[in-house]
Structure 1
Amino acid sequence: MLEMNKLSLNIPDTTKPRVVVIGGGFGGVNLVKYLPEKDFQIVMLSKQNYYGFWPLLYQVATAGLEPESIAEPIRKLFDDRHDFHFRFVRVTDIDPTAKTVNTLIGAIKYDYLVIATGTQSNYFGNKQIEQKSFPLKQLSDAVNLRSQLLQSFEQASMTRDKQIRQGLLNIVIAGAGPTGVELAGSLAEMRQHILPKDYPGLDFREMNIYLVDGLDRVLPPLTPASSKRAHEDLEKLGVNIKLNKLVASYDGEIVTFKDGEQIPTQTLVWAAGVTGATIEGMPAASVERGRYIVNQFNQIAGFEDIFAIGDIAVMKTDKWPKGHPQVAQPALQQGAHLAKNLVRQLRQEAWKPFEYFDKGSLAIVGRARAVADLPGNKSLGGFIAWVAWLFVHIYYLIGFRSKLIVLSNWVYRLFTYERGTRIIIRPLVRHDDKTVVELQSAGK
């Protein structure tokens, strides 16, 4: 590998306005799609070289899909553009006065800056949980969690110690939002249809799946009716739901709750909250609860040439006094809308304010089990909502290849209950009672 001081961003000079986009998620990618390269030079900086469809991360974690089926290289998305420049690099800070973005390998000037960095897991200052738990925010998290789950089952099949085995088979999911609910449902279906065949020596009636949340219902963003239905479906699948329950600590072996209850587990999945992935250099007055305060044009408070879109932005309106929901649709819509406004700027036309069109919310619990809140205060549940969930997610996947792979996987699973390749690609070393159990790939 080259030393950092021998690298540079290496962006060509231009006479066109330069738009620098930080982040390659829903908002950033959709912005670039709608920006004409004949009018702008576009530079995207991201610490990941791929665009991922994050609503399906839980299926990667439970071996329902392969990682590559929900991700596309960012360079491939825009390989037909000659003045789009992607750099796989971490941004360190922004200098608004000099109109410069600083990275680990150099700086770049901008005419317009768009921050689309999304969110990161919020551990509420608990370093122990941050170090010991498993987040589910990006592709590497899903692969790590899949490896952890499979390795736990492997170890459970090799121990006669009931207490150790129970800790390996217990899974605790903190956070009963869409990620937690969908992960719990998927694990419950694995327990019923897949794992007994893979591990015939294990009694999976001993496997407990706990879904815990500090609020009084699952799926808080959805209506109470949809929340109730999802709760009932999860219980039918055998998920243990614990509400009004807060995690106090986790040492890698025991989850301790605020009320003193403890659950032994080697796997705590942290889906209990997110916070904005802000960048150094922006004034504190422009940030509220980890998100940049923006006006109706997505301009960050106090700036005309710096914008924030998607989860990192909070745009307060009468309908959305706390800002738009941190899901894909606001990011997609804001990205496209901001691109059109930047084109209007070049044409010296008046900008149009952003108006969010709420297309509803969906969450899947299991096969033929899902809930949907639609515009007009309409709700769906069961098989119809499940089919709607399938079609919506296929539609928003980028690339024909991804759509085909995911659809074929789902059709295959519909008739067989089978999952994808359940392989362990990350060796784990665990210390149990001074005994080192090491699982490594074959041939080592």
Structure 2
Amino acid sequence: MIANSLRLRLLAGAAVAIALALAIAWGAMSWVFDRHIEHRVQEELTAQAVPLLAGLSLTGGVPALEEEPADPRFGVPASGLYWQVNAARGQLRSRSLWDSRLPVPAKAAADAWGERKAAGPFGQRLLFVERQVRLDPGQPAVTVQLAYDLARLAPAQREFGREMALFLALLWLVLAIAAWVQVSLGLRPLANVEGEVRRLRRDASARLAGAYPRELLPLTQAIDALADAREADVARARRRAADLAHGMKTPLAALAVQSARAREAGAVEAADGLDTAIAAVRGAVDGELARTRIGLAQHDGRTTAALPLAERLVQVLEATEAGERVAFSVEGAASAMLPLAGDDAAELLGPLLENAARHASRRVAVTIDEDAGGVTLAVSDDGPGLDAARHGDAVLRGERLDSGGDGHGLGLAIARELAEASGASLELATGALGGLEVRVNWPPQLS
């Protein structure tokens, strides 16, 4: 259901993104809180060190303490608060350590209190505050350590995490509602586009002339461009149909006159054959006029497998007079799809194959390439080809090179118009076989 609804996609994406951001925020704030309370513990331990140092003395390298710190936790075994003084000839430690000792650092700072975390006695993980202190100028330095059990901070950390999670959950709900309002307001202009498109379907000359947000301008401009292209296609179809009707009118009229003369001369059977042929041609012309193939050949989402189509058309051509003397080869990706319906694709590829077979000496090659750049269909032969200067004329309307007989011009003109109507480009070049190569390329958005 989400895949078919832009609103639900946006809302689901917003909900997931907000939840992810709040989860990251929860983790970051928990880390900051942990760092904050550890810093407070460090400050407390540093403050506890002041009375400890005030009563500390060193006699003959042996440390002595006049009065222990007043905090009662120093006198309770495994209380989680400890102190220890390490000298060259002795060691003092709080009663809370009982018969255990704090791990002595390899080297402690002498200019400031340093902090570290390490395992301590009683299976506890401790936060240490350590420093080397020289009690008298002529005496060696002693290492003073104070430590606190980090597990004592866990209840405060858990409580903070629960309260923060509850707050962020409520915040997620508020932000999700805000996202729903934002999505609803953001999608509202699309309803106007829908109405304009319905009007465009009723009136082909209408355009999306309303004032739309800047983000929708590419869409509305694309729809207007599509409408312009549709009008151009219809005009092209009408022009082609008119050309076909006009071109066939005079030959059919002449044949009708010849049929009448033959009938008057008594050749009734021949006249009947001519009348049958004339009727068939007129039927074909009427069908072409009704279909207006090019006007309907624009990309509408339908596709045709290129390789089977090419193989099928080659089989048909091999049975013709021109195809019997030619060796065809078809190569390409089996997954390549042409952005045309089956009849339209055959209407495009058929004239290219016919022209190639007509002009080839012995070989015609069909190549179908599919990559990130789209789909490219190439038809080449080993015939005489065309001079590069005449490539442009070969596909121009009204400049067909074979208007008086066989040749590349008519088929290429048909193929070019069909290619342009489906959003492709048609190019002529000298192929690897030495003759003419016709390449039709569909860009990625159409292939």
- Taking structure 2 as the reference length, the TM-score comes to 0.21
More relative contact order in 1 or in 2 (CA 8 Å, sep 6+)? 1
Q: Hey, which of these two has a bigger chunk of helix by percent?
A: 2
Q: Which has the higher strand share?
A: 1
